[in-house]
Amino acid sequence: MRAFHWAVIALLSVGSAHAQGVLRIGLQDDPDALDPARGGTFAGRLVFASVCDKLVDTNPALDFVPQLATAWSWSADGLTLTMKLREGVHFQDGTVMDAEAVRANLERYRTAPNSARKAELKPVASITVADPQTVQIHLTQRYAPLLAVLSDRAGMMLSPVSFADGKSPDVPICAGPFHVTERVAQDHITVERFAGYWNAPAIHFDRIIYRPIHDSTVRLVNLQTGQLDMIEEMAPSDVAAARGNPHLRLSTATSLGYETISINVGHGAGAENPLGHNATVRKALELAIDRNAINQVVMDGQFVPANQAELPGSKFWNPDIAAPARDPAAAKALLKQAGFDKVAFTLQVTNTPRETQLGEVIQAMVADAGFDMKVQPLETNTLIDGMNAGNYNASVVVWSGRADPDANISLFLACDGFQNWGKYCDPAFDALLTKARASTDPAERQSLYRQVAAKYLQDRPNLVLFHMTWLFAASDKLQGFVPTPDGLIRPQGLHF
């Protein structure tokens, strides 16, 4: 349990929350590190949306739009990105957000030993300050995904004072509308309104309290009884109850993100089994799974069954490789071809009712093909810590999705991907990614990312199951929320 000494709230006063201008949001998970350099969970991004503005944001149509940067342009050779910064912006400690601060942040993200952003910024050769409001990012090669990278954690600017001398802050001191005042692990995170925020007229709450509640039905009950004002990642099975309540408003958006089975193919002792060593065994596992049945049984038909990191029918989706139909007999034959009658492994899932049920449904399906699969539910951060250490055979993980296709693939499967937990590494695959990243021609990028998909669909280090539908429910008193494909809850414009 951890609380910060400058906390000024009393959680016992929840009954008067509306009068105090407090918004209470129920999260599915407790975030990991509240440091954009180190964080990796979706729950962390939800909190960052209120605390850390980015150089670039995305709108509901997934266009890149100004935030801390007001304009940007590429050099003729595509190797320098020039960004003009917003004037009059201050960090939450009162220091100025200028080009030097941007340079310091990008240098930290691309070089700090504990930074998870290094792979995303690998093509960056240097950052220079042209004037106090102009920063130039120089590349070693063309890198089309850079704007998408700067619209996520690598574009979140912190006060350089907070990471001086190599420090890793426990809480971020950013240039966003709220600053963190208290965190109690597994209980709540409180953020208070920053009076000096550059876009202050768009903020209508004095405080936001984030409460991690793993059970979706419990989150919904808290919303129904007035203990919460909004919940995210509602279980599909709870949709009917939310729709039937006249005091609640349901909001949905088809997600860029997906749920996948990450398979440990080369990371320590957890990979030392037939599933990790043999692509034929992984093919058999996929043939034993019925994605459509999973969607109907576990997700009440709300999600989009899929086998690729891009949505079916979208620009970078490969139409030539559809998700295979379930065929237990063919799966069993593949196991025999690989030399096995039975293959045992453990599938880790987060300890929510929905994910536990998902694991149990997969367990029953794959048993018909000769897989002796155990299901191990774990708290989210415990699961991730184990994956980081290689202590897993296979894990169900969720990716919230990004506007650029590279970010939906490379972090999991590039040799240096920061969430490549299973240590899949293929030089031919990385060469394709490098070529795709360097191209700014839409047709060429489409062709290359379809080739990328064909490669990972053959090797199967990950088995994508479906793309989610973001399901939000809120009190009908809450106004101004616009669901977006990235699943974030942006506080700008929210009000009672």
- Are the C-beta atoms of 453 and 429 separated by less than 8 Å? no
Taking only the tens place, the pLDDT of each residue in 247-298 is: 999 999 999 999 999 999 999 999 999 999 999 999 999 999 999 999 999 9
The Cα diameter of the chain in Å comes to 67
Q: Which residue has the tokens 């490669």?
A: 455
Q: Which CATH architecture has domain 56-166?
A: Alpha-Beta Complex (3.90)
- Are the C-beta atoms of 178 and 208 separated by less than 8 Å? yes
pLDDT for res 366: 98
Lowest-pLDDT choice from 158-162, 222-226, 393-397, 398-402: 398-402
Mean pLDDT of the chain: 94
pLDDT for res 432: 97
The pLDDT of residue 384 is above 70:
yes
Topology of domain 255-469, per CATH?
Answer: Dipeptide-binding Protein; domain 3 (3.10.105)
How far apart (Å, rounded) are the C-alpha atoms in residues 426 and 220? 44
**Contacts (Cβ under 8 Å, ≥6 apart) of 239:** 250, 300, 302, 471
The pLDDT of residue 14 is above 50:
no
Q: Which CATH class is domain 11-52+170-254?
A: alpha beta
The pLDDT of residue 479 is above 80:
yes
The stretch 120-129 carries a mean pLDDT of: 97
- Are the C-beta atoms of 251 and 474 separated by less than 8 Å? yes
Taking only the tens place, the pLDDT of each residue in 176-226 is: 999 999 999 999 999 999 999 999 999 999 999 999 999 999 999 999 999
How far apart (Å, rounded) are the C-alpha atoms in residues 94 and 97? 9
pLDDT for res 165: 87
- pTM of the full structure: 0.88
Give start and end residues of each alpha helix (H) in 197-290: 216-224, 239-243, 274-277, 279-287
Taking only the tens place, the pLDDT of each residue in 16-51 is: 334 359 999 999 999 999 999 999 999 999 999 999
pLDDT for res 440: 87
Element (H, E) at 430: helix 427-438
Per-domain boundaries in the chain: 11-52+170-254, 56-166, 255-469
Give the DSSP letter of residue 156.
Answer: B
Taking only the tens place, the pLDDT of each residue in 75-120 is: 999 999 999 999 999 999 999 999 999 999 999 999 999 999 999 9
How far apart (Å, rounded) are the C-alpha atoms in residues 234 and 27? 9
The pLDDT of residue 71 is above 80:
yes
Percent of the chain's residues with pLDDT above 90: 94
Give start and end residues of each alpha helix (H) in 256-394: 274-277, 279-287, 291-299, 328-337, 353-367, 380-388
How far apart (Å, rounded) are the C-alpha atoms in residues 110 and 123? 9
Percent of the chain's residues with pLDDT above 70: 96
How far apart (Å, rounded) are the C-alpha atoms in residues 464 and 471? 20
pLDDT for res 262: 98
How far apart (Å, rounded) are the C-alpha atoms in residues 127 and 136? 6
Question: Which is more confident, 310 or 11?
Answer: 310
pLDDT for res 7: 33
The pLDDT of residue 446 is above 60:
yes
